[in-house]
Structure 1
Amino acid sequence: MYLLVLWTFLFGSPQISQKVSDRFSNHPKTENKDPDEVVRFKNKTVPKVILEPVLKALAYFPDLDSVDITFEFKENISGAVMQAQPKIFSLFVNGKEDRKYRIKITRELDLGGELLPIEKIPIDALVGWIGHELGHVMDYLKRSSTDMMHFGARYFLSKKKVTEAELTADGYAIGCGMGLQILANKTYILNNEGFDVEYRNKIKSLYMSPDQIISMSEALEK
């Protein structure tokens, strides 16, 4: 059971196996990759269609400048729209200072039968979504490989740990100045009836509420 939970954290849910900152503008290289063109710059890999929101989100996280992160599209991510994870090989081979990460992003949102490409949602909501995942990466940076594996197991076995992890990710993003974007993301989800009720209830129960986001943002501004 423990191994199955750990597999899910590292690889995704089994089926059963399932403003832009100048520092990111040093002539990114592109290559054709099905289904979308990919842009490579520094140690980041990003689908070209979401390059703008990714750059906007990254601009709030200078601590991630030197961190290797691959943003990749997936047709479906069980129970989520985006998911930040350490790369499995890197988790065991690299120390935490050199660990590599990936952020999986659902290619199209299913909004009550309407398929909406992820890049078509409002820009602030998308930047906030990406910023939340970068908040997870910030949390992972300080964890050893053993701690990461224990974290993954606890995440899938305990709702309390899920809530702690999601609040921590939001907290990192808001602390980096992304309060408005995190608020835009939560508002977009909670007010959009295209998302099923179960998913919206999950967002309500596990993540910061709009009022909490506003309160934390205001407190940080004082």
Structure 2
Amino acid sequence: MDELDGPEYIRPAQKECPRCGCCSEDLCAKGRNSIRRCHGHTADQARDVVASCPCSSEWTKHTAAWRNAQVRVTRLARELPVPEESLTLLRALARGAHAEDPNEGFPQLRLRGLAQLVSGLYAITPHGHTYLAALDDVRAPVPVLVLDVDLPTRTARVEVRAWQQGQPVTVLLDHITNDTVMTPEALPGRWLEAEANVEVEHVDRLVLTHYRTVPLAPLRRGWLPAETDTE
């Protein structure tokens, strides 16, 4: 009879995610709060299985990947715009037009996730709409108050008083720390400055970029609590 060196280890079965069917519940909880998504937290042999998981997708609102994509696409529009022929095609697709592409602008749009082929036809993606909004919205520096940070989800809640007073806005913590070189522990209660499109109505369209540390004095009156207003 063959002898074993020790007890055979069998990994306990993990609870399946009720929303996707391709991941465990724990994996989706981790992937939803990571820009690496679910496939970035799995072994090589399982990545193809979970690669399209909707729970962590950048197309699913309020995932870390979606928040990161909103900022990435906004900065792309403002800092590294697509060629004019691609922009012309994208605006036509946003209008719902059946657009031709004589100047071959589509490959640039598809490369950046702004457009796709659907049943052989060109179609704008949600990121394409975000890109156009970033071009058309008025963006300006505004004071931002960091309310608190959540280390497990790598998010922060901030208040953008120039947009809506008393309305928390969730942003990625790493965007703030990378821009300001501040530690997460130093952020709660701190006023910063960021660029934002404060004329939008819905929080899902509000995109903050380019966080900066600033002294209190330059902040415009009316955006600070009464006890910290400066003359």
Q: Could you say which TM-score interval applies, normalised by the shorter chain? A: under 0.3
TM-score normalised to the size of structure 2? Answer: 0.24
Higher-Rg member (1/2):
2
Q: Which has the higher contact order (CA 8 A, sep 6+)?
A: 1
Q: What TM-score does the superposition give when structure 1 sets the normalisation length?
A: 0.25
